[in-house]
């Protein structure tokens, strides 16, 4: 069996001091060779692993024949944002995990081929599909992250008039403020947003729903509302010293670096503290992104502190690997107990304690417990807290009849229907922080449900 094509990457020694994309993408020859590895299964299991149901064997077959133009069209029937998915989806737990080749060797690089096609198309200018006759129905989409963009694109393709309301000054949600340039270049996100706009979607930036308009007010103007407001409220550790100067939530740190481009300060006006010794607390993708940004800002030493072991880390294996190659240090089974500052209120150390994993509990998870007497100090002049986020309460607080769970997530059925008529929700707003692709899947399902609702109205 032919091995997987290796994707060219920037050398770790070089890339750790720039914000350019790490992975460089397949060449045309590589793409064709890689696509030829697909066995064209009669009952393709890969498709079951894709939350937005891309017809994988069909597009791979066209790539294998060198017909890139029709291959990308095939993807775009189901997925409006392939340049993003091809880069940030955890394919190893989705389509690629389900690929039959993975049973004996390496699966087809589905994500990398999707990315290749999207990049190929972008260079030539994306083609806009013919849109159906307008239905005359209006849908408001709140939030322009992956869930909102997908729902908006699908609704527009169904002939509805769609307006997206975005609180920030740029569209994209976590794609623009959270995921760094070196993993997902911002001009790619902008190009995908432009594509959605070309489908006829109107994007209103600087519009904080709950403040400038409430959902109830939107409902007087629109026939349905989709809430794709994400989970942007940062969790803190609630330990001593967390408000010291130099301590950031990952959301603040990444927003400064990515959205406000503070890595280009003072060319750009937003500053960020460039630490010499940076400690990032957490084990997810957000922690990896924060650590790798800190390194690129010029830190001498970046350490990730995580309370469980490597096996339990929620970050993608590829990201952990990339972080390691760049020299990020890992202190596993370690948990902060307090943050220590100098007399001028600046952070100097973080005190941690060693943890051990006990037997798995009824839920199957190992709850880590501290080992008494193992307290120790780690030097740090910048600390980034990346221990998760929950939904922002602004919309639920100002919307009558919209029920939320005790975790603050919007209660919604499988198809996105909430407890309020005409209001649908999906993505992190419903599930709590999850993946880009699951948010896109939720946006897709909700678009179908909204379409059915509007037809019955």
Q: Which is nearer to other proteins, 138 or 261 (CB)?
A: 261
Task: Considering the complex, state which of residue 383 and residue 447 has its C-beta at the smaller distance from other proteins.
Answer: 383
Selected binder of other proteins within 79, 94, 150, 255 (CB under 8 A) = 255
Binding mask 185-214 for other proteins (x = CB under 8 A): -------------------xxxxx--xxx-
- Out of 271, 298, 360, 401, name the contact with other proteins by CB under 8 A: 271
Nearest approach, Cβ of 142 to other proteins (angstroms)? 13
The closest alpha carbon to 286, from 332, 248, 254, 331, belongs to 254
**Residues 443 and 201 sit within 8 Å (Cβ to Cβ):** no
Given the complex with other proteins, which of 83 and 168 has the nearer CB atom?
Answer: 168
What is the chain's alpha carbon radius of gyration, rounded to the nearest angstrom? Answer: 23
Question: What CA–CA distances, in Å, run from 35 to 254, 398, 419?
Answer: 35, 50, 45
Q: Contact region for other proteins (CB under 8 A) — 121-129, 253-261, 349-357, 416-424?
A: 253-261
* Of 278, 260, 238, residue with least CA distance to 379: 278
Considering only 245, 371, 374, 405, the residue that binds other proteins (CB under 8 A) is 245
Residue 29 or 206 having the CB closest to other proteins: 206
By CB under 8 A, what part of segment 116-135 binds other proteins? Answer: none
Residue 255 CB, shortest distance to other proteins, in Å, is 6
Among candidate residues 336, 238, 228, 229, the one with its CA nearest the CA of residue 281: 336
The binder of other proteins chosen from 51, 234, 284, 396 (CB under 8 A): 234
Tell me which stretch binds other proteins (CB under 8 A): 19-27, 166-174, 285-293, 358-366.
166-174
In angstroms, what is the minimal distance from the CB of 80 to other proteins?
Answer: 23
- 382 to 441, contacts with other proteins by CB under 8 A? 392-394
Among 236, 276, 298, 367, binds other proteins (CB under 8 A): 236
67-99: burial string, b at 16+ Cβ within 10 Å, e else? ebeebbbbbbebbbbbbbbbbbbbbeebbbebb
Q: At CA 212, angle to CA 208 and CA 214, rounded to 5? A: 90
Minimum Å gap between C-beta 393 and other proteins is 8
Q: Which is nearer to other proteins, 135 or 207 (CB)?
A: 207
Residues 308-347 touching other proteins, rule: CB under 8 A, are 344-345
- Please, what is the minimum distance in Å from the beta carbon of residue 253 to other proteins? 8
Instruction: Tell me how far, at minimum, the Cβ of 290 lies from other proteins, in Å.
Output: 13
Q: Which is nearer to other proteins, 56 or 382 (CB)?
A: 382
Quote the least distance from Cβ 99 to other proteins, whole Å. Answer: 37
State yes or no: residue 219 binds other proteins (CB under 8 A).
Answer: no
Residues that bind other proteins (CB under 8 A): 167-169, 204-208, 211-213, 232-234, 236, 238, 242-243, 245-246, 248-249, 251-252, 255-256, 260-261, 265-271, 273, 344-345, 392-394
């Amino acid at each position: 069996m032919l091995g997987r094509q290796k994707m060219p990457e920037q050398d770790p020694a070089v890339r750790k001091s720039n914000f350019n994309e790490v992975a460089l993408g397949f060449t045309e020859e590589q793409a064709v060779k890689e696509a030829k590895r697909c066995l064209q299964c009669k009952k393709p299991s890969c498709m079951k692993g894709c939350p937005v149901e891309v017809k994988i064997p069909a597009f791979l077959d066209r790539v294998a024949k060198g017909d890139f133009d029709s291959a990308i069209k095939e993807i775009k029937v189901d997925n409006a944002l392939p340049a993003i998915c091809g880069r940030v989806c955890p394919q190893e737990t989705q389509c690629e995990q389900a690929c039959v080749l993975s049973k004996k060797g390496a699966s087809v690089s589905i994500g990398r081929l999707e990315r290749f096609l999207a990049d190929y198309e972008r260079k030539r200018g994306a083609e806009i599909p013919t849109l159906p006759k307008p239905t005359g129905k209006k849908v408001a989409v709140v939030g322009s992250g992956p869930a909102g963009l997908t729902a908006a694109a699908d609704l527009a393709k169904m002939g509805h008039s769609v307006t997206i309301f975005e609180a920030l000054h740029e569209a994209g949600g976590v794609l623009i403020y959270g995921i760094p340039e070196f993993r997902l270049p911002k001009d790619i996100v902008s190009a995908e947003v432009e594509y959605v706009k070309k489908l006829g979607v109107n994007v209103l930036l600087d519009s904080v729903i709950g403040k400038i308009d409430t959902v109830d007010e939107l409902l007087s103007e629109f026939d349905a509302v989709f809430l794709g407001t994400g989970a942007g409220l940062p969790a803190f550790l609630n330990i001593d010293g967390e408000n010291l100067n130099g301590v950031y939530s990952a959301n603040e740190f990444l927003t400064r670096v990515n959205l406000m481009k503070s890595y280009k300060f003072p060319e750009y006006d937003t500053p960020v503290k460039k630490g010499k010794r940076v400690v990032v607390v957490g084990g997810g993708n957000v922690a990896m992104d924060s650590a790798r940004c800190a390194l690129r800002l010029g830190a001498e030493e970046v350490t990730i502190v995580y309370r469980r072991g490597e096996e339990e880390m929620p970050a993608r294996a590829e990201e952990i690997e990339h972080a390691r190659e760049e020299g990020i240090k890992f202190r596993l089974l370690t948990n902060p107990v307090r943050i220590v500052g100098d007399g001028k209120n600046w952070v100097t150390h973080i005190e941690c304690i060693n943890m051990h994993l006990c037997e798995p509990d009824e839920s199957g998870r190992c709850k880590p417990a501290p080992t008494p007497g193992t307290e120790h100090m780690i030097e740090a002049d910048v600390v980034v807290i990346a221990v998760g986020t929950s939904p922002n309460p602004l919309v639920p607080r100002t919307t009558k009849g919209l029920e939320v769970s005790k975790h603050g997530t919007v209660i919604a059925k499988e198809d996105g229907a909430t407890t309020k008529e005409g209001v649908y929700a999906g993505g992190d707003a419903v599930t709590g922080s999850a993946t880009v692709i699951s948010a896109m899947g939720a946006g897709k399902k909700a678009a179908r449900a909204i379409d059915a609702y509007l037809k019955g109205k």
